[in-house]
């Protein structure tokens, strides 16, 4: 991909970008979350995104968090529209036994979090982010081939020009190097629904 089209929201102190690879060294106490349950607002994670008005597409990236070692360390895909409207998907490190593979969708300043527990031995993950107008699907694959759905969501502010890309953060007092490779834009891999007709 042409990485020159990507721009920072909150540029980190340490990073490296070339034509086919991005590395982000996270800073302690960085995160994205809005209000729900925890009642705090964290909005300081570095985000590297490109902009598009294309209404049907898919974006794939491989993430490597082998360097993560502290609770809540995470890296993955993001669509950050503004502080109160965004989505993200990532592995979130927990301990030496297990971690969480999950996604967060934030509409109008309230976040949700959907997760499954996976072994701590999983250190790389592919994500596929697909758009169909103002609806979105997030998928993951350990091998980059056999993607499985994580969630489908609607974004209230996701109907026009959007920004999407990569993020990494360390919500507690840690730091690690997140690595992103094999990035690719492609035709939408999320087929139109062929069942019940729309209302």
What confidence tier does 91 reach under pLDDT thresholds 50, 70, 90?
very high
Q: Is there a domain that residue 36 lies in? A: yes
Max Cα–Cα distance, the chain, nearest Å: 50
- Cα–Cα distance between 24 and 177 in angstroms, integer? 6
pLDDT value at residue 123: 97
Q: Is there a domain that residue 64 lies in? A: yes
* pLDDT tens profile 110-161: 999 999 999 999 999 999 999 999 999 999 999 999 999 999 999 999 999 9
Q: Is there a domain that residue 198 lies in? A: no
Q: Is there a domain that residue 144 lies in? A: yes
* pLDDT tens profile 25-73: 999 999 999 999 888 999 999 999 999 999 999 999 999 999 999 999 9
* Structural domain for 145, as ranges: 3-186
Q: Is there a domain that residue 195 lies in? A: no
* pLDDT tens profile 16-25: 999 889 999 9
pLDDT value at residue 195: 84
Smallest CA-to-CA distance from 8 within 17, 33, 53 is with 17
Q: Is there a domain that residue 196 lies in? A: no
pLDDT value at residue 15: 98
Provide the CATH number for the domain around residue 110: 2.60.120.200
**Could you tell me the pTM of the whole model?**
0.95
Strands (E), the chain: 7-9, 14-18, 21-25, 32-34, 41-43, 47-52, 56-64, 74-82, 85-93, 98-107, 110-119, 124-132, 135-141, 148-154, 162-169, 177-186
* Structural domains in the chain (count): 1
What confidence tier does 10 reach under pLDDT thresholds 50, 70, 90?
very high
User: Given a cut of 90, is residue 197 above it in pLDDT?
Assistant: no
Q: Is there a domain that residue 18 lies in? A: yes
pLDDT value at residue 1: 85
Smallest CA-to-CA distance from 154 within 134, 129, 131 is with 134
């Amino acid at each position: 991909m042409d990485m020159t089209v990507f721009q920072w929201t909150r540029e980190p102190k340490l990073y490296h970008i070339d034509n086919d690879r991005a590395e982000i060294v996270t800073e302690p106490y960085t995160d994205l979350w809005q209000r729900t349950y925890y009642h705090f607002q964290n909005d300081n994670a570095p985000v590297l995104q490109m902009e598009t008005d294309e209404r049907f597409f898919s974006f794939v990236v491989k993430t490597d968090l082998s360097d993560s070692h502290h609770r809540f360390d995470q890296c993955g895909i993001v669509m950050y529209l503004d502080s109160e409207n965004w989505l993200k998907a990532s592995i979130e490190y927990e301990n030496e036994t297990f971690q969480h593979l999950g996604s967060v969708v934030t509409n109008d300043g309230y976040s949700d979090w959907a997760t499954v527990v996976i072994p701590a031995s999983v250190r790389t993950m592919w994500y596929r982010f697909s758009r169909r107008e103002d609806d979105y699907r997030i998928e993951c694959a350990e091998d980059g081939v056999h993607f499985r759905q994580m969630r489908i969501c609607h974004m209230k502010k996701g109907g026009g020009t959007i920004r999407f890309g990569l993020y990494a953060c360390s919500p507690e007092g840690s730091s690690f190097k997140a690595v992103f490779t094999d990035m690719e834009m492609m035709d939408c891999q999320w087929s139109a629904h062929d069942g019940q007709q729309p209302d």
